[in-house]
Structures are given as C-alpha cells and as structure tokens.
Amino acid sequence: MFRLLFWIAVIFAAFWLWRRFNRPAVSKAQEKPSEANPQPMVRCEQCGIHVPRQNALSKDSQWFCSQAHLEQGHSGSEQ
C-alpha cells in the first residue's frame, strides 16, 4: 500500500513540475494592460451603452456606438 501511495505522489509531483516549467512566461506588462492605460469612455446617445472613445462615432457633440445609431440620431431615445 505504501509503495502505491509513493508512486502516485512521485507521478503527481513530476506532472506538476512539468506543467509549471512548460507554461509560457507572462510579464507584468502583459498581465494588466487595461489598468496601466485606461481609455476614456463615452455614452451612446441612442442606446446609452458606454464604449471606448476610440471605437465610438461622433456627430456634432454627440457620440454613438455604431453606424446604425449614428444614422438614427438622437430621435430614438426621446420617445
């Protein structure tokens, strides 16, 4: 019985070490890129969803999340 437990422990330890050393190295810069450079968010005038400003579309001083909402304008939320 002791031999069986010993071999199970050896196999488990070997498997654990193999997985630990075969993982790709993750640098600190790759772990949390969003916290280092937060993006300004804007609210879509049509549906109210918040999107990053670089992905949003603007018309006059209004922001929209998609081309369809840009074309519809502000009229849909005034109902």
Helices (H), 23-76: 28-31, 33-36, 67-72
Q: What is the mean pLDDT of the chain?
A: 82
> What 3-state class would DSSP assign to 45?
coil
Residue 34 or 69, more confident: 69
Model pLDDT, residue 71: 87
Average confidence (pLDDT) over 33-54: 84
**pTM attached to this predicted model:** 0.48
Model pLDDT, residue 78: 46
Length of the chain as a residue count: 79
